Amino acid sequence: MTDTTDAKTHIADTVKANDVVLFMKGTKSMPQCGFSSRVAGVLNFMGVEYKDVNVLSDEGIRQGIKDYSDWPTIPQLYVKGEFVGGCDIITEMTLSGELDGLFEQNGVTFDKDAAEKIREANA
C-alpha cells in the first residue's frame, strides 16, 4: 500500500508525465464500474491516447486522488495536468462539444467524426 505522501507524489508525477490521464476503477480495457466504463468508453471511441490508473489496485492512490483533486468521486479525468471532472462533467462536455475544444486547445489527438457520432446518438 502506498502512503499518502508517496501517493500524492505518484499522482502528481503521473498527471504531469501524461497528456491525458484517467483515474478509474479498473482499466481502460476492463472497467470495473459503470461510471469509469462510460468515461473510458468515450475516450476509447474517440481514439484518445490516455494513461489509465486503476485506483482499485492501490488504496493509497484511491484515497489520494480524491485528496489531490478535492473531488469525492472516481473516475477523474486530467488533461495536460489539469483536473477536468468526473463522469457527469465528461458526459456533458462530450455532448456539448466542449471536450473536443479542450482536446484541440491542448493538442490532444482525437477522432472528430467519432465525437460527432456520440453527439448524434445522444441527440
Q: Is 33 annotated as a binding residue?
A: yes
29 in Cβ contact with 41 (< 8 Å): no
For residues 31 and 33, what is the distance between their CA atoms, to the nearest angstrom? 6
Q: Which of 26, 22, 32 is nearest to 85 (CA)?
A: 22
Task: Give, for all 123 residues of the chain, the pLDDT tens digit.
Answer: 556 678 999 999 999 999 999 999 999 999 999 999 999 999 999 999 999 999 999 999 999 999 999 999 999 999 999 999 999 999 999 999 999 999 999 999 999 999 999 999 998
**Per-domain residue ranges of the chain:** 4-121
Radius of gyration of the CA atoms of the chain, in A: 14
pTM of the model as a whole: 0.94
* CATH architecture assignment, domain 4-121: 3-Layer(aba) Sandwich (3.40)
